[in-house]
Amino acid sequence: MKTMMKNFLLLLMVLVSVALNGQDPNYTQFFNNPQYYNPAYSGLYTGVRAGFSFRDQWPALPYDFQAYNFEADMGDRNLPGSGGLGLFLNTNNEGIGFIKNINLGLSLAVRIPFSKLSVGQVGVKVSWLQKSVNWDDFTFSDALSERYGDIYQTGFIRPEQNVRNMADFGVGGIYQFSNEVNNFTGTFGFAVDHLFEPDQSFLQTAKAPLPRKYVAHGDLIFAVGSSSGFNSTNASALKFNPGVVYQSQGGVNSLQAGLNLTKFGLNLGLWYKGSFGNYNNSMLGFMAGYAFEVADNLGLKFTYSYDMQMAGALQGTGGAHEISLIIDFNSESVFGGLSRSGRMKGGHFEGQTPWECATF
């Protein structure tokens, strides 16, 4: 019993330290959660797009870490500023499930055309962030007996507050370009989340600012075997999508880089994920999915990925499972722009720039 209790306390300290010094949940399928990483993605492509993602991290542990993200955005060039609007909701648990986080907010992006083949967007987001803790689930050291375990009454005086409500803000920018024949595009961006580092402490006598998060990302898309480009309806085109995402938050830096391939609607991907700083950790992410058109104006994409632990202190934790579903109404408009009756021409709807349809 004594050895088992020591192991449990050691595991508790490790996991709590990771939660306090680590990062926000990091999705392997970052390309399916673009607003989560950068609000400038809002309305980057015309139409209405919605996505749901679920991540189950370290399932081999008694308490796995689960994260959910829902986001929807609308791009309409009749909007003031010609950008887009977004809505997002993400939740996750930390501290072995004792702490719950909810983040609900809106994003707004403004479009800046640079040339016929390049465009930029600047986005901001504002959200309500709630952090809650269940003190009943904690076991304190003065309640433990070396022989019998948790049998004593703890002297810990619980704070009156078990819920924190905060305002949170983020900003970001994106630059996107294409070539003349529309078979190559690149997207690069930078974002800052938790801009003012809101205080998330439950104690009035201490402060615990939520660390600011910096994100830099970039990806390229090459289309082979398509005369009308990467957003063509020609499903036989082979598309290569290499990308990289770098994050820094709370003393931890992380890098993920890899490649996605798609052909006939089938998506396959291989990604490396590494964390450096207060602790080192590395994983390989394997991804598979399928995208298809349900109707002229409706596309669906389902993706599953698995993170396999390669090195670091978290080996044997079961890696991570992640699933996502994307719904894309690629010609829908609310402000009088393109509608369901929009006509396809050369792989995109008339009136759009070549890359106005989602590229991958």
Q: What is the pLDDT of residues 145-160, one digit of tens each?
A: 677 666 666 766 666 6
Q: What is the pTM of this model?
A: 0.82
Instruction: Classify residue 194 by its DSSP letter.
Output: S
Please tell me the predicted confidence (pLDDT) of residue 86.
Answer: 95
Alpha-carbon span 103 to 198, nearest angstrom: 13
Please tell me the predicted confidence (pLDDT) of residue 180.
Answer: 84
Summarised one tens digit per residue, pLDDT across range 244-285 is 999 999 888 999 999 999 998 899 999 999 988 766 788 999
Give me the amino acid identity at 296.
Answer: D
Please tell me the predicted confidence (pLDDT) of residue 317.
Answer: 75
At the topology level, CATH places domain 2-349 in Porin (2.40.160)
Any bridge partners for residue 321, and if so which? 56, 306
Geometric angle at alpha carbon 291, from 69 and 47, rounded to 5°: 65
**DSSP 3-state of 356:** coil
Residues 6+ apart with CB under 8 A from 35: 41, 42, 71, 73, 86, 88, 107, 125
Binned at pLDDT 50, 70 and 90, residue 162 comes out as confident
Helix (H) or strand (E) run with residue 4 in it: helix 2-21
Binned at pLDDT 50, 70 and 90, residue 336 comes out as low
Quick one: 19 exposed, middle or buried, by C-beta within 10 A (0-12, 13-18, 19+)? middle
Q: What is the dihedral of CA 131, 136, 138, 140, to 10 degrees?
A: 130
Pairing assessment for the beta strands 320-329 and 252-263 based on DSSP bridges: unpaired
Binned at pLDDT 50, 70 and 90, residue 313 comes out as low
Domain definitions of the chain by residue range: 2-349
- CA dist list (Å): 260 to 28, 32, 148: 12, 12, 53
What mean pLDDT, rounded, does the chain reach?
A: 80
Any bridge partners for residue 271, and if so which? 258, 285
Q: Which of 98-102, 229-233, 314-318 has the lowest mean pLDDT?
A: 229-233
Look at 338 and 222; give whichever has higher pLDDT.
222
Please tell me the predicted confidence (pLDDT) of residue 316.
Answer: 67
Any bridge partners for residue 301, and if so which? 291, 326
Please tell me the predicted confidence (pLDDT) of residue 60.
Answer: 82
Please tell me the predicted confidence (pLDDT) of residue 355.
Answer: 53
Residue 182 has pLDDT above 80, yes or no: no
Please tell me the predicted confidence (pLDDT) of residue 65.
Answer: 87
Q: Which of 139-153, 213-227, 235-249, 284-298 has the lowest mean pLDDT?
A: 139-153
Instruction: Classify residue 199 by its DSSP letter.
Output: B
**What is the Cβ-side half-sphere exposure of residue 294, based on CA atoms within 13 angstroms?**
11
